[in-house]
Amino acid sequence: MPYEDDLTDALRGAAELAPQLQLSAFAAGAAARGRAIRRRRRTTGLAVTTAVALLSLTAVAVLPGDGDTLVPVAEQPVSGAFMERTVRTLLPPGTVSKVQTTGLAEARPPGTGPGLALTFDDGHGPTRIQLSTERMALPIDGNTQGTECVIGDQPGTCERLVLADRTIVLTRQLTERQGPVTGGRTVLATGPDGRQVRLDAFDDGPGQPDTGAEGSLSVPQLVGIAISEAWDPVFRALDTPRYPKDAFSGLPAARIAAIAVPLLPAGTTAKIPEGRFADGRSELTLTGQGRQVVLDISAQHVGVITREAFEAGAAPGTVTHTADGTSVVRREVQPDSDLNGPVVSWAVEALHPDGTRVSAVQSVPGTWPDVPPLPGREVLTMDQLVALVAAPVWRG
């Protein structure tokens, strides 16, 4: 699993998710509207916005500020400006702010797809959106990341739909406030050609009321953005998977838990939640010193990754090395995109000399802003997390 996805997925997966959308009904309704979304696809059963449909027919884009100038999409570089332009075309009417983009040339580690983050408001409250892209190795099957409802989900908490063109769409939604946000929802669309677009949307930032209602973008709207043909230029440029099909061999979830529990400090108890986990990941609920946290652990053998590539995406000052040559990256996560507020999660990842990669993400429960997850509520210190992921017992 890619480095940055491994950490962020673990944070998002810490929340309980629920199927608040019946995708089959949504697909049927969209099919009735009769919109085509891809030149080389048959009808998929899902509709996108009128702007996207027109874009798919003309294969051109209208550039902001250029009047009626039409530029073939194939000629546009996959830059941060392209990503912003494209997503603005796909969004419904509303206000866009706090835009952060990463073009293909700036994406790190090398081989990572471009992406962006922005805040959108159509009058129903601000929604923070994060979009990422990835080229997955073929063939697309049950072992492809993001194509099955098994990674940390409780039974029945994930919606999965296979479109007529064999695109796999997964949706997940938060059931309650998780940290600083409510209304969290994720859409993952994986095409049979290996393209994968992920959208994460979170409503109700600090100070916003916890209404429980979906904010400015619904799941169907997110699905429409994810499966749009407008991302074709991205995947023409991102034409090679970062990792080959057999690059990762995940440890069984039960094995991960069996290794991790004896490595915990004395006085810490661990409970394994019920549910299904894909190979390579497990989750523990830890209790110690009167506190409780969720610890998401992943462990894989990834011989294709060099130390240089592993460390390439880390922020300055976050990389250390153990005496036996293990690389360790540390990250502290704060609750919003402006890096304000207390640390709410601690993430550590290690690449062992034999290519074994282990990550641990500790998340502190809280109901921001009513009960903020203040520093000092964690069960494991950063040094204890490092000791856990860097232990030689993970190797082999």
Nearest to 198 by CA among 172, 174, 233: 172
* Residue-averaged pLDDT of the chain: 74
Nearest to 298 by CA among 360, 382, 355, 348: 360
* Cα gap 146→196, rounded to integer Å: 9
* Cα gap 373→196, rounded to integer Å: 33
Q: Are 187 and 213 in contact (CB under 8 A)?
A: no
Beta strands in the chain (DSSP E): 60-62, 70-72, 95-102, 115-121, 127-135, 159-162, 168-173, 182-190, 195-203, 249-250, 269-271, 281-288, 291-301, 319-321, 327-333, 345-351, 356-363
* Cα gap 104→316, rounded to integer Å: 21
CA dihedral 165, 116, 82, 308 (to 10 degrees): -90
Please give the pLDDT value at position 376.
60
The rounded Cα 73 to chain-centroid distance in angstroms is: 26
Please give the pLDDT value at position 56.
31
Please give the pLDDT value at position 275.
64
pTM over 0.75? The answer is: no
AA identity, residue 393: V
**Which of the residue ranges 71-75, 212-216, 288-292, 336-340 has the most confident prediction, judged by mean pLDDT?**
288-292
CB burial class (10 A; 0-12, 13-18, 19+) of residue 338?
Answer: exposed
3's CB contacts (< 8 A; 6+ apart) are 109, 310, 313, 329, 349
Distances (CA, A) of 349 to 141, 264, 307: 27, 16, 12
Q: Where are the domains of the chain?
A: 3-237, 249-394
CA angle 355, 360, 364 (to 5 degrees): 170
Helix (H) or strand (E) holding 387: helix 382-389
Average confidence (pLDDT) over 233-243: 92
3-state SS track over 112-163: CCCEEEEEEECCCCCEEEEEEEEECCCCCCCCCCCCCCCCCCCCCCCEEEEC
Please give the pLDDT value at position 146.
84
* Secondary structure (3-state) at 286: strand
pLDDT digit string (tens) for 133-164?
Answer: 999 999 998 778 888 875 444 434 678 999 99
Residue 171, token pair as written in the block: 């949706």
CB burial class (10 A; 0-12, 13-18, 19+) of residue 85?
Answer: middle
Residue 13: pLDDT over 90: no
pLDDT digit string (tens) for 269-325?
Answer: 999 877 666 678 888 999 998 888 889 899 988 877 788 888 876 778 899 999 999
For residue 9, the tally of other CB atoms under 10 A from its CB is 24
